[in-house]
Amino acid sequence: MKMTVIGCGYLGATHAACMAELGHEVLGMDSDIDKVHTLNTGKAPFFERDLDDLLTKHTASGRLKFTASYAEAAEFADLHFIGVGTPQQPGSDAYDLTHLFDAVTKLAPGLTRPAVVAVKSTVPVGTAPRVAELLRKHAPAGDLIEVAWNPEFLRESFAVEDTLRPDRLVLGFNTEHSWAEALLRQAFGKIIESGRPTIVTDWATAELAKGAANSFLATKISFINAMAEVCEKSGANVAELADILAHDIRIGRCGMRPGLGFGGGCLPKDLRGFITRADELDADEAVGILREAAAVNARRRQRVIDLTLAELGTDLRGKRITVWGAAFKPETDDIRDSPALAVAQALHDLGATVTVTDPKALDNARKLHPELDYVEDPIAAADDADLLLHLTEWHQFSHIDPKRLAARTNSPKVIDARGTLHTAQWRDAGWITRALGRI
């Protein structure tokens, strides 16, 4: 098939490359000319595992190319995926749909024949009818344009895997047995034939799917971090408690990782956006548990700051703190709502000299937090440190020899906020260690 992908950020670029991998001819469209140029060279303007390999393969094969022209995209195909960003509105927790409506409005004038517009962007429930109305108003084909909803459930650093082998495929339509359904089933044919669960539903249910999924995941993470608070008060071990709970098949192991909490461009935004939309629908009491999940997550960051003050004193002026981690999670360069950088910035604001290291995210961190210090080598970053904070669980950090590291610090003290350092080994090497949820 021929298809387009409008918006080529994390979601769109991955979707475009994976659709080419499935055998389709794909045109990615983005208004950022520099991004289009980079993608046409077979490289992503961000780090996502395995994505560059697919981009290189299919820009070379001719199945995949990128443009900055809406007119070219409209003419290219009859199936158009939209994967533009829907960030939070400035000064609000609600989704900002400006990019989505702008993309639809600019694509519409070129839609002169029947077509399907399949939206992948995460939105508040009730957005699909507004998209359909824009297309009826601005597209020459008018009522011949069908709207579908195809939410994504990608995990950063696993986005290629999750696109090609998803846990489930969700397709939302306004009418039964529509042309849009037939077209999307053809587009995802190889995935459907592989036996992946495919759920066909209405617009509203499909719109709710991503926000509901992320809200549940956020709640699960916050639950185990709430247990970490209880463990710290009682002397229990939250890592062992999580393992006990994970053996219950009703609970499961996925997401039961106590630590500094969640960040990134999806879970925090979708949790807040879901709560805001529920408030608008007069269903605010139904999402009280989600408000507490957000509060627990915020307390994790403050707990690391409190532990730092307990170790170094309330006056941090003249103190040197090393932070291992800038990305919100390992195997990505994404720093959006990064717990590690939030803590680093807060300690800097309290007067400390903060040095940050990360295998992939330093360039992005420098742009957003130029007042912090940055060192590429995690061992050199700890030189003369009064305290080491382990805030993003890159596997490289857990393999560093703590004896070798201790000799370079001013004081061998570490707060392991992710719980992946081998505590006994570090203590044997002379370190004073603290970990969230454990004594």
CA angle at 153 for the pair 290 and 19, rounded to the nearest 5°: 165
CA angle at 93 for the pair 11 and 83, rounded to the nearest 5°: 15
**H or E stretch covering 424:** helix 423-428
Tokens of 240: 């062992």
Tokens of 357: 């290291």
Give the Cβ contact number of residue 123 at 10 Å.
Answer: 23
Which residue type sits at 332? T
Q: Which of 8, 18, 231, 266 is catalytic?
A: 266
18 assigned to active site? no
Give the Cβ contact number of residue 136 at 10 Å.
Answer: 15
- 177-206 burial, b at 16+ Cβ within 10 Å, e below that, comes to ebbbbebbeebbeebbeeeeeeebeebbbb
Give the Cβ contact number of residue 295 at 10 Å.
Answer: 11
Q: Is 390 helix (H, G, I), strand (E, B) or coil?
A: strand
Question: What is the C-alpha separation between 308 and 202, in angstroms, rounded?
Answer: 50
Give the Cβ contact number of residue 399 at 10 Å.
Answer: 8
In DSSP notation, 227-263 reads: HHHHHHHHT--HHHHHHHHHTSTTT-STT---SS---
Question: What is the C-alpha separation between 7 and 100, in angstroms, rounded?
Answer: 9
Question: What is the C-alpha separation between 1 and 181, in angstroms, rounded?
Answer: 15
Task: Report the catalytic residues.
Answer: 266
